[in-house]
Structure 1
Amino acid sequence: MQAFDRIHEYSKLVCDQIRWEKAHEPVLKEIEAHITDQRDAYIEDGLETYEATECAIRQMGDPIMVGTQQT
């Protein structure tokens, strides 16, 4: 699976937990940007793209928990 596909899969799973559909697009973009930024930092530290992507996603936490958290 491509790194972008893996990131999109995670962010979509987070959004699936949010009932208010108008929030999906901004949440999706924010999560994907955050994971991409963290992945890029891991790559700069010497990790390969796949491993860097997985580490960044793991750092975000369980997508179900993230999607159901209230602020």
Structure 2
Amino acid sequence: MTEAERNALRSAARRCSDELHSAIAANPKAPFDTLSGPIIKKHHQPISPAYSLALFMWTIGCINGQFEER
């Protein structure tokens, strides 16, 4: 993966993460699964030909500090 491809993936993951955080802040009592599914699918759709959903989710986790990059 080139640096430009990595930046494109991280940019999409960052936008998704920001939208997830704002949706959770707006609806704190709503179940996370009902909020996150449509948002993640919406942000993954443009980059889906190049990146798997698992890689996209892992990148979001790295941005949020849940996983460490290798």
TM-score using structure 1 length: 0.47
TM-score using structure 2 length: 0.48
**Bigger fraction of residues in helix:** 1
